[in-house]
Structure 1
Amino acid sequence: MTPNIQKAFSPDLFRQQAHALVDQMADYLEQAQSGSLETVIPYKDPEESLAFWQEDYQQGQSDVAAFFNKTIQHSTHLHHPRYMGHQVTPPVPVAALAGLLSGMLNNGMAVYEMGLVSNPLERILSELLAKKIGFDNNASGLLTSGGTLANLTALLAARAAKTGVWEDGTSERLAVMVSEEAHYCIDRAARIMGMGDEGIIKVPTNERFQIRTDLLEQYYKEASEKGLRVIAIIGSACSTSTGSYDDLEAIAAFAQKHQLWFHADGAHGGAVVFSDKYRHLVKGLNKADSVVIDWHKMLMAPALTTALIFRRDDDAFKTFQQKAQYLWANQHSKDWFNSGKRTFECTKLMMSLKVYAILKAHGEQIFTDNVEYLYDLGQTFAKLVKARPNFELALEPESNIVCFRLKSNSADSPNNLNASIRKKLLEDGKFYIVQTTLADKLYLRVSLMNPLTTEVDLIALLDEIENIANQL
C-alpha cells in the first residue's frame, strides 16, 4: 500500500471521523427539534450554488469534517418541523446508522454469496408487507431503488404474464389503463415499454381526483376498437397531487372481468396497511396482482427503499428470465436468495438493512404511530384552513397531503397570487411547501411527513402566508 491508501483505510482515522460525524448529526437533530435552525431550506439560485461548490472544490483537500458541516448547512432540512414539501420522510436516526454500516460493508445482492444478510432480510420484509396487504403464503416480493423502478418492474411483470414478449417479441399494440392523476412514472414506464401515446389510456377523475370507475368499460371498449390490447390497469393508493385513493375494489372487479393485471401504486399511501384506523382506504388492495409501497415515504427509511410485492411469487421470476452463467447455474430455478433474478439491478444496495434496523430498534408500532399521527395531522390542517375565510381547500384530504390556497381579494388572479406566495416562502426558507395544479387551478400543497410537526407549526404557516399576501 502507498502511504496515501494506508491512511485512507486507517481504523483510527475512521474512528475519529465517524465519531465527529455522529456528533455533527446529533447536533443537527437537536437544532432541528429545538427551533435553532434558522431555515428549513437555505435556498440559493442554482448558479450561485454551483459557484459555491466549485470554489470549495478548487480549495483542494481539507478536513472532511468541514465538508460534512457545509453539506448539512446547505441542504434541505427534512427533520425541521416546518418541512412540509415533497413526499420524503425524515429518516429515523437508527436507519441512518444502518446506512453507514451498509456503506462500509458494500455487499451486493444479485447472488446469495454477495448478500448473505441482505437477501434473507429482504425476504422477511417482503413477507411482512405481503401479510399486511392481506396476501396469502404464495405471495412475496423484492426491494428496489424507488417507486419509479418498482412500477416499471410491475408493468414488465404484467407484460410477461399476459404475453410472450420476453422470448418472442411482439407486434401487438399493448396498452395500460390508468387515472389521469396517477404519478408520472406510470406514463414513463409505459413509454419505456414502447406503448406510446395511444397505449397509455388515461381515464378521467371525479371531483375528488379519483379514477372514474364508471368510465372503465367505455375506455376499455374504445381501446379495443382501436386495435389496442389492454394488459393492465393501475390504481393509485394514493395519488401524488392530492392524496386521494382510487376505488381499488371496483378496479379489481373490472380487472378480473377482463382478465387484466391489476397493479396498485401504493408508493405513498400503501403504508396504511400498518394502521387499523386508516386501512379502509386501501380496501381491495389484497386483490391486486402487484403492489408498490415505499419504505422511504411513510415508513421512515432513507431513500431509496421501495417494496414491490406480488400476489403470486412466481410472477416475480417471469420478468427478467435470462442466462448469466457467471452469477448462477440455473436461471429458471425460483430461488429467492439470488435477488438478481427478479430485479433490474444487479449490484443492489443493502437497503433491507435500514428497514430491518428500524424494526429491531422500535418495532412495527413506530410505522403505525407515524402513519396515524401524520394522517390525523392532515385532518387537523384541513380544519385550520376551513376556519379562515381567506383560504379554501381543493378537497377534503384522505391522507397527509393537503391542497389549499389563499383567495384573491385583488385584481391579481388566485393562481398568480398563490404562485407568488410559494416563491416568497421558498426564498425566505422559513417553511418548505410545494404547489400543484388541479383543473387549471394552482394550489399550495403540503405533505406532512415529519412527526415532529405540530398544530403550532401549521398555524404559523397560515399566518405567514397571510403576511406575505399583505406584503404583495
Structure 2
Amino acid sequence: MTTKSKLLALDQYFLTNSPVSLHNYRAAMDATQTVIIENFAILEQAYSGKSIAALQSELKASSEFMETQSLPDVIKQIGEQIVENLINVNHPRCIAHLHCPPLIASIAAEVIISATNQSMDSWDQSAAATLVEQYVVDWFCKQYSLGEQADGVFTSGGTQSNFMGLLLARDYAAQQHFNWSISELGLPPEANKFRIICSQDSHFSIRQTARLLGLGDQSVVSLPLDEHHHMLPSVVRQYFKALTDEGLLPIALVSTAGTTDFGTISPLDALGVCAQELGLWFHVDAAVGGALMFSEQHRYRLAGIELVDSLTIDFHKLFYQSISSSIFLINNRAHFNLMKLNADYLNPESNAGNGLPDLVTKSVQTTRRFDALKVYMTLQAYGQTVLGKIIESVMELTQQSAKLIDATTDFELALPPSINTIVFRYRPSITPAGKDEDLWCDTVNDRIRLVLLQTGQAVIGYTKFNGRSYLKFTLMNPMTRLSDIESLLVRMRKISLL
C-alpha cells in the first residue's frame, strides 16, 4: 500500500478536507446532537435514579473495548448508558451545587475549542487564540477597575486561581521581607513563620494551597465571623497584632465574595484598606460573587474589589459557562515575574523581541484550553445586559424561595440568603419517643436529600451548620420557578414520613 493510500485510509478518523472525513464528522456531530437532546435536554428528572451498583454493572459490560462499532452507534449507546445517567444541570430541580446550566453560546464555543485544539502556552500553538484570551483578560481587568498595570490569565477554576494568588503572595513576601527569591533558592528559613489570614468560611482550597506551597496547615489562620458571617477589619487587626507579637509574619489577607454555603460578601472596601495598612497581599476569592459586577442592582456589593492584589473569578458559575472557565487577575503584571520561566523549545526570551506573545509565563499550566473563546462568544452574542438580568432573576428567586421557607412552620432557615444559596432544614414538629430531637432532625434531613437523589426527583445540597445537618438549595438555573420550590417542599414533607 502506498503512503498516499494509507493517508486516504486514515483520514476517516480525523477532521480534514477530504470527503470521507467531512462525511464522518457531520455524521458524528448529528448523532451527538441527537443524544444531547434526547438523552439529556428533554429528560424529566434531575437524575435517572439508578443505583451505583446498577451503573457499575452496565458500564462494566460495555467497557471491554474489544469489539469496534460505527461511531454513530457508539454515540447512541453512550447516550443510553451514560448521558441519561448524568446529573442533569439543566433541570429546574438540580439545585445542589454551584453547577450551572451552560449557555448555548458556550456550548457552541466548546465545539470550536475541541475541534481546533489550540494550546494556549505559545503563540505558534494558538495564534489568534492568544490574542483573544489577552483581549478578554484586559477587558475584565477594566471591569473590575484594577488599573493600567493589571493583567491575568485563564485557569481551570477557582482552586487554581486561589493557588496562584497565594503563590504570588508567598513569593512577594519573601522578596520584600528578606530579599529572597523562592524561584531560585526555595523556601527561606523564615517561611515557617508565614501566616495567611482568612475567614472560617473561606474555600477549602486556601488550606489546600498552603499545603502545596510548603507552608502547611499551621500557616492558615481562620478568623471568627460576625452574626452575618462577615469578616471584619477590626478582627483582622486584632489577629494581626497577636500574630506579630508572637514573632510570626502575616503575608496575605484572603476575603471571599460569595462563600460556598451562605454566599456572603465581607466588606471588601474596608478589608482592602486594612490590608494596605498592614502590608498584606489582598486576595479576593470572588469565584461566585464576581458575577455581580454585571448586575446594575447588585454591583455595589463589590465596592472595594479594585483594591485587590489578586482576584479569582469563575465563569463556570454565575456567568453560565461550561466547565472549565475561570480567570485569575492581578493589579500589577510585574508580579508574574515571580513565577516566570523561559524554555528554549517553547517560549524563548527572543519571542518577546519578535513581538510574539506567550501566555505560559503567567500560568502554572503548560498546555491549556482556549476557554476564553466561550466568554468571548457569550459576550458577543448576548452582552452584559442579558447576563446581568439572568443573575438578577436567580437572586430574586432565591429571596422569594427563602421567604417561602421562612413562612412555614416545619422548615427553618440557617441565615438569610446573600446571593443564590439557601441553607435550611426540615424540622419535624413531633420527635419519636426516646429520640434526641436534634439527632432525629439530622437523620430526617439526611434521608430527604438521599431519597430525592436516589429517586431522581431532585438534586439538592447538604452542609453542616452549628454542628447540625442542613439542606441547601443552590439556585443557578434561571429556568427554575418558585412553583418548583413549592412542589419540592411538598415532596420533602412526604419523604420525612417514610
Would you call these one fold, judging by a TM-score over 0.5? yes
Cα distance in 1 between the residues matched to 2:424 and 2:159: 27
Cα distance in 1 between the residues matched to 2:99 and 2:319: 10
Query: Deviations along 1:367-402, whole A, 9 cap, x unmatched?
Result: 212211111111111111112111111111110111
For the 8 Å contact 1:43–1:427, the answer to whether it is kept is yes
Q: Which moved more, 1:458-467 or 1:159-168?
A: 159-168
Q: How far did 1:138 drift?
A: 2.1
Aligned to 2:445: 418
Cα distance in 2 between the residues matched to 1:44 and 1:232: 46
Aligned to 2:25: 14
Q: How far did 1:262 drift?
A: 0.2
Query: Deviations along 1:8-66, whole A, 9 cap, x unmatched?
Result: 122211111112212332445751xxxxx232012444343232211111373232222
Residue 7 of structure 1 aligns to which amino acid in structure 2?
Q
SS of the equivalent of 1:188 reads helix
Cα distance in 1 between the residues matched to 2:206 and 2:139: 26
Aligned to 2:178: none
SS of the equivalent of 2:140 reads helix
* Gap change, CA 1:44 and 1:220, over 3 Å in 2: farther
For the 8 Å contact 1:156–1:319, the answer to whether it is kept is no
Cα distance in 1 between the residues matched to 2:49 and 2:233: 42
Aligned to 1:171: 189
Query: Deviations along 1:106-158, whole A, 9 cap, x unmatched?
Result: 11011112121221111122122222212222212110111111110111111
SS of the equivalent of 2:488 reads helix
For these two proteins, the number of residue pairs brought into alignment is: 465
CA RMSD of aligned residues (A): 2.0
Q: How far did 1:90 drift?
A: 0.6
Residue 292 of structure 1 aligns to which amino acid in structure 2?
T
Aligned to 1:40: 46
For the 8 Å contact 2:100–2:317, the answer to whether it is kept is yes
Cα distance in 2 between the residues matched to 1:29 and 1:197: 42
Cα distance in 2 between the residues matched to 1:464 and 1:82: 12
Cα distance in 2 between the residues matched to 1:261 and 1:127: 22
Aligned to 1:456: 483
TM-score (norm 2): 0.89
Cα distance in 2 between the residues matched to 1:337 and 1:45: 50
SS of the equivalent of 1:58 reads coil
Cα distance in 2 between the residues matched to 1:129 and 1:51: 47
1:441 aligns with 2:452: no
Q: How far did 1:272 drift?
A: 0.4
* 2:55 counterpart (49, 67, 87): 49
Cα distance in 1 between the residues matched to 2:342 and 2:128: 25
SS of the equivalent of 1:308 reads strand
* Gap change, CA 1:43 and 1:150, over 3 Å in 2: farther
Aligned to 1:248: 268
Aligned to 1:74: 85
Aligned to 2:344: 325
Cα distance in 2 between the residues matched to 1:239 and 1:148: 13
Q: How far did 1:437 drift?
A: 0.5
TM-score (norm 1): 0.94
SS of the equivalent of 2:198 reads strand
For the 8 Å contact 1:123–1:336, the answer to whether it is kept is no
SS of the equivalent of 2:392 reads helix
* 2:370 counterpart (338, 343, 350): 350
Q: How far did 1:221 drift?
A: 2.2
SS of the equivalent of 1:219 reads helix
For the 8 Å contact 2:256–2:286, the answer to whether it is kept is yes
1:379 aligns with 2:399: yes
SS of the equivalent of 1:263 reads strand
For the 8 Å contact 1:40–1:429, the answer to whether it is kept is yes
Aligned to 1:199: 219
For the 8 Å contact 2:198–2:254, the answer to whether it is kept is yes
Q: How far did 1:7 drift?
A: 2.5
Larger radius of gyration: 2
* Gap change, CA 1:331 and 1:154, over 3 Å in 2: farther
For the 8 Å contact 2:40–2:88, the answer to whether it is kept is no
Cα distance in 1 between the residues matched to 2:314 and 2:121: 21
1:85 aligns with 2:104: no
Percent of counterpart pairs with the same letter? Answer: 27
* Gap change, CA 1:326 and 1:30, over 3 Å in 2: closer
* Gap change, CA 1:408 and 1:294, over 3 Å in 2: same
For the 8 Å contact 1:147–1:306, the answer to whether it is kept is yes
1:137 aligns with 2:148: yes
Cα distance in 1 between the residues matched to 2:356 and 2:333: 9
**Within 5 Å, which residues of 2 pair with 1:63-462?**
63-70=73-80, 71-163=82-174, 164-169=181-186, 170-172=188-190, 173=192, 174-315=194-335, 317-330=336-349, 337-409=357-429, 410-411=431-432, 412=437, 413-462=440-489
Unmatched runs of 5 consecutive residues or more in structure 2: 1-5, 15-20, 175-180
For the 8 Å contact 2:36–2:79, the answer to whether it is kept is no
* Gap change, CA 1:372 and 1:340, over 3 Å in 2: same
For the 8 Å contact 1:323–1:331, the answer to whether it is kept is no
Residue 349 of structure 2 aligns to which amino acid in structure 1?
N
* Gap change, CA 1:47 and 1:223, over 3 Å in 2: farther
SS of the equivalent of 1:314 reads helix
Unmatched runs of 5 consecutive residues or more in structure 1: 32-36
Q: How far did 1:432 drift?
A: 0.8
For the 8 Å contact 1:321–1:331, the answer to whether it is kept is no
Cα distance in 1 between the residues matched to 2:259 and 2:114: 33
SS of the equivalent of 1:395 reads coil
Cα distance in 2 between the residues matched to 1:13 and 1:428: 38
Cα distance in 2 between the residues matched to 1:404 and 1:331: 58
SS of the equivalent of 2:33 reads helix
Q: How far did 1:100 drift?
A: 1.4
For the 8 Å contact 2:31–2:76, the answer to whether it is kept is no
